[in-house]
């Protein structure tokens, strides 16, 4: 292909991406009325336009002769059923457009500029996650890493398999490694989860959660107090482990976004396992607690339906996933047990 056509592709994508950002900016400004998101989107749009300029961009613009006009007219890309679809569609358009800019800049030898657009793509992922219409739903399987309970798979391998299996919330839990090793694994998992649109929560280590810009932090009863974590973590998702009604009520009044409820069954995965009322406590939570709850402890294919019967909606699982030969098959089996 003639090199000049690459400039045309870059030009078309800069315009496409900037237009997509503009749509989101309008939604944020006029519908959701959120000044912070509106400003971040405006800044992204300016950076998209300004981060690469070349006289050839405009010279080779040929909108009328663009065969893509007839191709895109025939697609269902713009069949948006509601505002949430519109937001998702535009974020996808933006992310794909930036990826195309990155690749074509590389072909032309503009490696530095390509890196700048890569950073902008990751800003777009982050903006999508935090977009005020996008709420995390705690429903179905909540996957927790546990390479000690796997045969030869690392936490990163486990997270990759969980993403491929369609798990939408992943927690990084690791009790053996150094802070640095955990940080490196979390950096990789953050990148993978951002690309997949998966919610990423870090267990215990608030510093790591902040350093990798995770979506959330999960704390236990002996960790920093929830109110202090909220001060430090801002609007990050905060989950709190609870084992009885008093702890659940305190977590709600101190501002938790969700509570862990358990252990439901006995398990060897956690040392010094707390006592809880198990399924009875879960039933109490389902009836009395307004924020989302996540059942945990010994949940397996053969008992998950029982957990659901007692009010379980979201099921946190370590060893049953880590020990599975194929996480994808295990998740499918767990889903059919829930039907």
Ligand X SMILES: Cc1ncsc1CCOP(=O)(O)O
Ligand Y SMILES: Cc1ncc(COP(=O)(O)OP(=O)(O)O)c(N)n1
Tell me the binding residues.
171-175, 203-204, 223, 241, 267-270, 298, 318-319
When asked if residue 263 is in the footprint of ligand X (CB under 6 A), the reply is yes
Catalytic: 182?
A: no
Measured from the CB of residue 302, what is the shortest distance to ligand X in angstroms?
Answer: 13
Q: Which of 129, 241, 300, 330 is catalytic?
A: 241
Q: How many CA atoms lie within 13 A of 229 on its CB side?
A: 28
Q: Residues 235-242: contacts with CB within 8 Å, 24+ apart?
A: 235/130, 236/209, 236/210, 237/136, 237/199, 237/201, 239/201, 239/294, 241/274, 241/296, 242/285
DSSP 229: H
Catalytic: 160?
A: no
First to last CA, the chain: 52
Measured from the CB of residue 307, what is the shortest distance to Mg ion in angstroms?
Answer: 21
When asked if residue 221 is in the footprint of Mg ion (CB under 5 A), the reply is no
Q: Which does 239 bind (CB under 5 to 8 A by kind): Mg ion, ligand X, ligand Y, none?
A: ligand Y
Q: Which of 45, 121, 173, 182 is catalytic?
A: 173
Catalytic: 173?
A: yes
In whole angstroms, give the CA distance from residue 118 to residue 127.
14
Number of residues near ligand X (by CB under 6 A): 13
**Are 320 and 300 a contacting pair, CB within 8 Å?**
yes
When asked if residue 270 is in the footprint of ligand X (CB under 6 A), the reply is yes
Measured from the CB of residue 25, what is the shortest distance to ligand Y in angstroms?
Answer: 35
Site map (CB under 6 A) of ligand X, residues 75-94, x = contact: --------------------
Residues 277-306 contacting ligand X, CB under 6 A: 296-299
Neighbours of 51 (CB within 10 A): 16
Per-residue CA distances from 309 to 283, 297, 304, 313, 315 (Å)? 9, 16, 9, 9, 12
Measured from the CB of residue 232, what is the shortest distance to ligand X in angstroms?
Answer: 23
Active site residues: 173, 241, 270
Which spans of this chain sit near Mg ion (rule: CB under 5 A)?
A: 204, 220
């Amino acid at each position: 292909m003639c090199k000049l056509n690459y400039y045309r592709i870059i030009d078309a994508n800069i315009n496409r991406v900037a237009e997509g950002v503009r749509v989101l900016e309008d939604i944020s400004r006029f519908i959701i009325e959120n000044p912070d998101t509106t400003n971040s989107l405006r800044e992204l749009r300016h950076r998209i336009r300004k981060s690469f300029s070349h006289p050839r961009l405009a010279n080779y613009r040929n909108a009328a002769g663009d065969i893509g006009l007839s191709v895109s007219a025939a697609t269902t890309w713009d069949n948006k059923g509601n505002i949430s679809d519109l937001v998702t569609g535009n974020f996808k358009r933006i992310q794909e457009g930036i990826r195309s800019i990155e690749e074509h800049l590389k072909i032309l030898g503009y490696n530095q500029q390509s890196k700048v657009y890569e950073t902008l793509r990751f800003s777009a992922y982050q903006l999508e996650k935090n977009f005020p219409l996008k709420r995390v739903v705690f429903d179905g399987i909540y996957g927790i890493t546990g390479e000690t309970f796997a045969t030869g798979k690392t936490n990163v391998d486990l997270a990759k398999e969980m993403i491929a299996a369609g798990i939408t919330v992943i927690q990084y839990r690791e009790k053996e490694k150094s802070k640095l090793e955990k940080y490196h694994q979390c950096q990789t998992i953050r990148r993978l989860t951002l690309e997949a649109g998966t919610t990423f929560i870090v267990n215990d280590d608030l510093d790591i959660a902040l350093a990798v810009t995770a979506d959330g932090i999960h704390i236990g009863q002996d960790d920093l107090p929830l109110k202090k974590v909220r001060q430090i973590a801002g609007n990050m998702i905060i989950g709190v482990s609870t084992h009885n009604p008093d702890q659940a009520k305190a977590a709600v009044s101190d501002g938790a976004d969700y509570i862990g409820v358990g252990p439901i069954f006995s398990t060897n995965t956690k040392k010094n396992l707390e006592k809880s009322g198990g399924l009875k406590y879960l039933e109490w939570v389902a009836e009395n607690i307004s924020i989302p709850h996540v059942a945990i402890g010994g949940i397996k294919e053969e008992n998950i339906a029982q957990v659901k019967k007692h009010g379980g909606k979201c099921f946190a699982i370590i060893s049953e996933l880590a020990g599975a030969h194929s996480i994808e098959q295990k998740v499918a089996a767990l889903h059919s047990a829930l039907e």
